[in-house]
Chains A and B, each alone.
Chain A
């Protein structure tokens, strides 16, 4: 009797969670979803999924491009494949909460996957849509010339499983309102079995940067979102390279002069958030030693940090966490989340999916203020000394 019961369980409908953040006074509702990648997910599937995800911006079977334009009041659907999952976000007027949730449900369950939308998706990838900096941060190649609609559809179904996908709404609505609407729309959503033999092709380590710029990087180890040390690393990353008062700008760019843009980033990863200190530079000869030079310059800068550096980091943390200034270090989708309702919704969905805890800026900030200058310096030194040096020449 065990097998039939198990089969019944697999086929039973599962209502994916919807997290609510009502925002008093807001006249919009941001709606976002995050679906983590399966544990076994190979490079061939990743390349196909990168294309498939781009069809989501064309809407669902019920809401085409024109309807999306009208529903979002001239906005657009943002969909991205991150290293650890797929994100979708958009914003609607608060009066359109119900239709907005219908759009999200359609995107997750009934996207428009056909040769036309896939053709457009391939074009978007070919045009390097994210821009030089975003492309430089993720120097992946995508050699696909075509993706079959069936393959793309199957991949999206595999990713958007109701028991793994987290949806969030933030903005002008009452508590319980969005959850009720969502439950009604997804009551019949069932999980589907995972493929018996999934693609496990490993993703090759990049050897160059197809964005055309050379990236010089120090990359740390992933920190789980629930790790108590995260807040200390977060603050150290701000002190190192968020804002132009950070050491990357002040002590590397303005002293060394070999990079125009440089940032400290907490990068999404299946294992948590990866600290990355990245400087972009024009391709030139003899750049292999730049990462060690970066490490030496930053270690020297950290040794000179004062209470002022700690205060600056705390202020930047406050204005990013509470005022939503999109400065970083957290990088989701195509950049740091900002103050928009859809950004807040994405943070909610992402954080919960990765930690089973609600996004709580108060808790994060509360632990940051307890970090002393000595602790901050120690965290930065530890980060710098254990980071892996990576130089990817621009092509």
Chain B
């Protein structure tokens, strides 16, 4: 096990253990721990523990990165299926066991990773980590179980909200098969076999694909050791994210989504241009009743989407008359507030940090902060213009 520090994040620096300094510190009443500790295990798995003094809950997150397991038309949605199958635990009754102890489990599949969360009372880190450990062991599956779960995923599709539907359509326009949604294709899901699901589970549970984040009133070293014990035996393999080409603009006017959206392809989350696009989307949305913005931070090319539900949303016309100069202060303020809100909520912060670490051990929300701070008016104005120009994706649903 090796402790490492993120070079651009001074908060993660651990105290030096020079003998003289250690001697001097013994005169102090207590050694204060840093707020956060990131550890990379020999097999490539990452553990991040964050101290939240006084918290009554401990938030734990397990990420299974999709590195080396890209969604393709042939397997589209099988990661989602796997999430459903593992999230019930070894005996299918993990929720019942956790809830009896006051802990809750939830899971979701995103393009870059599967995320499994267990929130537990502050003194039950062991319970939460044991539950996450169950996710790394796949029980023997039958084809009947897979078929039944595929049916439930079909039911899930019926309840998809407008932003999700419009986002899927926009990603398809911008990135084609390199931007397949995490939900999946029911036919491809139904084609899954127990052997294929087991193979996918092995790929996703390789050491470098595993990230555990713990946030709570915990001892950093003890929590790191406990979380590491769960992932340290995973095999080390070499795998890379599949490349995603630069996104392109386009139009789709028959999406299933009951509304309208404009989206702008962006590069990595840490780019000033990306944060300027997000700020522009939020600023324009703040002038349009009921508009929504979707963006998932990613190191790969992505999409910032501005949408609105409704039969006659009028979104496009409102975007086209957006005045960048008037919107700039608001855009800065809202995107800044958004990031502060994410980081101020321990559960949301753990999720964001974990999602970024699942993509690269060097990724952190601090890079978003830096990109926001670096944003100037020309960046913002260009971003507003991008929503109006030919590089934007326009999607209309019925």
Contact = CB atoms under 8 A, between A and B. Distances in A.
Given A245-B96, A250-B96, A315-B99, A280 B159 contact: yes
B93 interface: yes
B159 A260 contact: yes
Interface size class of B (residues with CB under 8 A): 35 or more
B105 A244 contact: yes
A312 B158 contact: no
Contact of A261 (B92, B159, B289, B310): B159
A381 B89 CA distance: 29
B99 A245 contact: yes
B93 A245 contact: yes
Contacts of B245: none
B99 A259 contact: no
Interface in B67-112: 88, 92-93, 95-102, 104-105
A133 B159 contact: yes
Candidate in B93, B158, B258 with the most chain A CB atoms within 10 angstroms = B158
Interface in B153-186: 153-161
Interface stretch (A2-10, A26-34, A193-201, A317-325): A317-325
B99 A282 contact: no
Interface string B238-263: 00000000000000000000110000
A392 to B, nearest CB: 14
A247 to B, nearest CB: 10
A75 B332 CA distance: 17
B56 interface: yes
Contacts of A202: none
B102 A132 contact: no
Given A132-B159, A259-B155, A323-B56, A127 B310 contact: yes
Contacts of A36: none
Given A74-B337, A126-B310, A325-B104, A212 B99 contact: no
A244 B118 CA distance: 13
Given A126-B310, A250-B96, A315-B102, A257 B152 contact: yes
A153 interface: no
A59 interface: no
Interface string A333-373: 00000000000000000000000000000000000000000
Contacts, number: 95
B96 A282 contact: no
Contacts of A281: 155, 158
A66 to B, nearest CB: 10
Contact of A129 (B157, B290, B311, B313): B290
A343 B97 CA distance: 28
A365 B259 CA distance: 44
Given A127-B309, A257-B148, A260-B152, A316 B99 contact: yes
Nearest to A120: B289
B15 interface: no
Contacts of A316: 99
Interface string A289-316: 0000000000000000000110110011
Interface string A111-133: 00000000010011011110111
Interface in A250-280: 250, 253-254, 257-261, 280
A51 interface: no
Given A243-B104, A253-B152, A254-B92, A131 B161 contact: yes
Given A126-B310, A126-B311, A244 B154 contact: no
Contact of A282 (B56, B101, B155, B334): B155
B232 interface: no
Nearest to B289: A120
21 contacts: A126-B310, A127-B313, A128-B258, A132-B159, A243-B99, A245-B98, A250-B95, A257-B149, A257-B155, A258-B151, A260-B153, A260-B159, A281-B158, A282-B154, A282-B155, A282-B158, A308-B96, A308-B100, A312-B96, A323-B57, A394-B158
Given A254-B88, A281-B158, 20 more contacts: A120-B289, A127-B308, A127-B309, A243-B95, A243-B104, A244-B99, A245-B96, A245-B97, A257-B151, A257-B155, A260-B156, A260-B159, A261-B159, A282-B155, A282-B158, A309-B96, A312-B99, A315-B99, A323-B56, A327-B104
Interface of B: 56-57, 88, 92-93, 95-102, 104-105, 148-149, 151-161, 258-259, 289-290, 308-311, 313, 334, 337
For the complex of A and B, list the 7 residue pairs with the smallest distance between their C-beta atoms, beginning with the closest.
A245-B96, A244-B95, A282-B158, A260-B155, A260-B156, A127-B310, A245-B99
